[in-house]
Amino acid sequence: MSTYHSCGKQNGQRVGFCGHCGAPLAGGLTAKRLRLAAAVLLLAGLGLGGYSLWNTRAPHPTQKTADGSSALLSTAGKAAPAIKRADYNDMVEIPAGEFLMGSPESEGEDNEHPRHKVYLDAYRIDKHEVTVAQYKRFVKATGRRQKAKPPSCTQKVEWGTDRHPVFNVDWYDADAYCKWAGGRLPTEAEWEKAARGGTTTQYSFGNDESKLGEYSWHEENSEGNPNGASPVGRKKPNQYGLYDMHGNVWEWVSDWYGEDYYKNSSQKNPKGPASGSRRSLRGGAWDSKVHNQQRSAFRAGAAPPFERCQCKGFRCVVPAQNSKLSH
């Protein structure tokens, strides 16, 4: 019999802990009884030749969660937040310091001006766009489902192989994934500094558009791809070792989109406007024009709950001192 907890979520059992907020379910065990039960079990374990039912020889007992990750057990027997295993070493540290954000007056779009100096603390960012395999683990762990494609989207939105970037995700999906994984979406400034790879040119490799195909999937080299986007990591990385910062899929970032934000942007760790109706997107996609949308400074905005389709994905960041992103 299902019950509804005070958090508003439906639960499939009447005892234990809410699978959504972690609090005891109505009609379930009280915290006091759980502590008493835990004490009895711990004493029983200590009497079994020093081998506890929770293996108390280890400083922090664990159990396996449904998605194969290791979850710490509290003394009340409740599973603490999971520490999920990474399937490959997929983060790169971007050092603290200043960079020039935006475009010089002689190039770019109006929303890229004025070019301005920005200081950022150090952070780590995904080496690749979040993949289908990584997002599937999130879906399995949280019950979040792939949304139906919006009516405005004329492209197919079926996910590709596990190594394809996940797409048909809106801003809220991307934000929820990064938080679940222990990180967050990058700010526009963090994304652009990472994309530039220490350069001030239009692209991370310079200004020569003829080289873009070595680093990017775009409309001229993606024709015939059944899923539009291509598996991550098949083009050259930039100077930081990051792949697909130009093209493949647009990437959601955390900022609200502000057309004139650069005129009033903070010079240290800017986070974008306080509010807005659109969220920022960066990087261009497999169906983007070569000569403009894949430049490091190019900015776009989209409505966060509606705009998904086959060309929008994301990557995550964590602070430099906390590099264990959990996907």
Q: List the chain domain ranges.
A: 3-83, 91-319
pLDDT score, position 18? 37
Place of tokens 């109006």: 110
By percentage, how much of the chain surpasses pLDDT 70? 65
Q: Is the pLDDT of residue 257 over 60?
A: yes
Q: How confident is the model at residue 35 (pLDDT cuts 50, 70, 90)?
A: very low
This prediction has a pTM of 0.71
In DSSP terms, which residues pair with 203 in a beta bridge?
Answer: 206
Number of neighbouring beta carbons within 10 Å of residue 240: 19
CA angle 159, 160, 162 (to 5 degrees): 105
CA angle 311, 253, 326 (to 5 degrees): 95
Residues 2-34 pLDDT 10s: 333 333 333 343 333 333 333 333 333 333 333
Q: Is the pLDDT of residue 125 over 50?
A: yes
Place of tokens 């079926």: 158
Amino acid at 19: G
For the segment 273-293, the average pLDDT, to the nearest whole number, is: 91
In DSSP terms, which residues pair with 318 in a beta bridge?
Answer: 124
**Cα–Cα distance for residue pair 163/140, rounded to 1 Å:** 17
**Cα–Cα distance for residue pair 132/138, rounded to 1 Å:** 10
Using CB atoms within 10 Å of the CB of residue 324, give its burial: 0 to 12 exposed, 13 to 18 middle, 19+ buried: middle
Residue 313's nearest CA partner among 160, 89, 87, 143 is 160
Number of neighbouring beta carbons within 10 Å of residue 221: 16
Residues 229-255 pLDDT 10s: 899 999 999 999 999 999 999 999 999
Q: What is the DSSP letter of 62?
A: E
Q: Is the pLDDT of residue 149 over 90?
A: no
Euclidean distance between the first and the last CA atom of the chain, given in angstroms as a whole number = 33
H-state helical runs in the chain: 31-46, 132-142, 171-180, 188-196
pLDDT score, position 154? 59
Amino acid at 100: L
Q: Is the pLDDT of residue 301 over 90?
A: yes
Class of domain 91-319: alpha beta
Q: Is the pLDDT of residue 219 over 90?
A: no
pLDDT score, position 221? 85
Query: Mean pLDDT in the chain?
Result: 75
